[in-house]
Amino acid sequence: MIVIKSPREIEEMKTAGQIVADCHREAAKIIEPGITTREINDFVARHMTKLGGKQFTKGYNGFPAETCTSLNDVVAHGIPSKRALKDGDLLKLDIVVEYGGWFGDSCWCYAVGTVRPEASRLMKVAKECLELGIARALPGGRLGDITSAIQQHAESNGYSLVRDLLAHGIGRSLHEEPNYEHIGVAGKGIRLKEGMVFTIEPMVNEGTFRIAIDDDQWTARTADGKLSAQYEHTIAITSDGPLILTAQ
């Protein structure tokens, strides 16, 4: 069942979303060659606590850290480690915050130092996919309006979209209905209604859409070892159009 939020509840969700956004703004300042993904994780954990947010990821189904730090061919759920960032790396930093019983969730892709033109182009298209999807999150529309726009843009640029990891509704729980892939047909799918709150988070791969899971049972990589990029926002559907709760 999809939980519809009232305008007051959406207003309450903004705080969690803005703590996530502030964590990204501050983390962006320290992401550079030489810093480890564990150090980035610990910085974010301290910062969200400073802002009054609660971490949720550590311990969730056994995940061992407060953030997901996914490098290069890692699509999602990368575990922070002592691995130092290198010039040319692509880092996806996924941050979840709970505040006042509400959740905010956003992943952002960061270029470490100077990346290859191919990586820069992948990042650009992935961000455009997110923006195109958000623009179609309108009351009265269909979920397929969002996913088809994302799919068309990614595939027309020669990329693929991960299908085994899903976007999701969000509110009092991190994962609510709807759960959905970023592929679809315009005019199809559930009807979009005011008060729906969910993530849009296309994972765009250089090569195949298929993924493989490491032995740690978390780290999801592209099956062919090629790069993956992702951008994610938590959005609410309102009468005024899409409201980005995690806007930076």
| pLDDT tens, position by position, 30-44 | 999 999 999 999 999
pLDDT at 130: 98
pLDDT at 202: 98
Q: Which of 78, 68, 73, 61 is nearest to 24 (CA)?
A: 68
pLDDT at 100: 98
Q: Is 58 part of a structural domain of the chain?
A: yes
Q: Is 142 part of a structural domain of the chain?
A: yes
pLDDT at 60: 97
Integer Cα distance of 70 and 163 in angstroms? 17
Q: Is 18 part of a structural domain of the chain?
A: yes
Q: Is 1 part of a structural domain of the chain?
A: no
Residue 208 C-alpha from the chain's centroid? 19
**What percent of the chain has pLDDT above 90?**
100
pLDDT at 137: 98
Query: What would the mean pLDDT of 168-197 be, rounded to a whole number?
Result: 98
Count the Cβ atoms, other than its own, within 10 Å of residue 117.
7
Q: Is 237 part of a structural domain of the chain?
A: yes
For residue 211, give both structure tokens.
Answer: 């993924």
This prediction's pTM: 0.98
Q: Please give the C-alpha separations between residue 200 and each of 46, 130, 150, 203, 233, in angstroms, as whole numbers.
A: 26, 7, 10, 10, 6
pLDDT at 25: 98
The torsion defined by the Cα of 241, 178, 67 and 85, in degrees rounded to 10, comes to -80
| pLDDT tens, position by position, 108-163 | 999 999 999 999 999 999 999 999 999 999 999 999 999 999 999 999 999 999 99
Write the CB contacts of 213 (distance below 8 Å, at least 6 apart in sequence): 219, 220, 221
Q: Is 146 part of a structural domain of the chain?
A: yes
Kindly indicate the confidence band of residue 86, based on its pLDDT and cuts at 50, 70 and 90: very high
Write out the residue range of the structural domain in which residue 150 sits.
Answer: 7-244
Concatenated DSSP letters for 58-89?
TTGGG--SSEEEEETTEEE-PPP-SPBP-TT-
* Total domain count, the chain: 1
Q: Is 67 part of a structural domain of the chain?
A: yes
Eight-state DSSP code of residue 6: P
- The CATH number of whichever domain residue 98 belongs to comes to 3.90.230.10
Q: Please give the C-alpha separations between residue 147 and each of 106, 182, 183, 202, in angstroms, as whole numbers.
A: 18, 5, 5, 9
Which long-range contacts does 23-28 make (Cβ < 8 Å, 24+ apart)? 23/47, 23/48, 23/51, 23/53, 23/95, 23/97, 24/93, 24/95, 24/106, 24/108, 24/248, 25/248, 27/93, 27/95, 28/108, 28/110
Integer Cα distance of 130 and 125 in angstroms? 9
pLDDT at 200: 99
Integer Cα distance of 83 and 164 in angstroms? 26
- The three-state secondary structure class of 103 is strand
Eight-state DSSP code of residue 36: B
* Residue with token string 């592209």: 222
Contact 187, 144 (CB under 8 A): yes
| pLDDT tens, position by position, 199-242 | 999 999 999 999 999 999 999 999 999 999 999 999 999 999 99
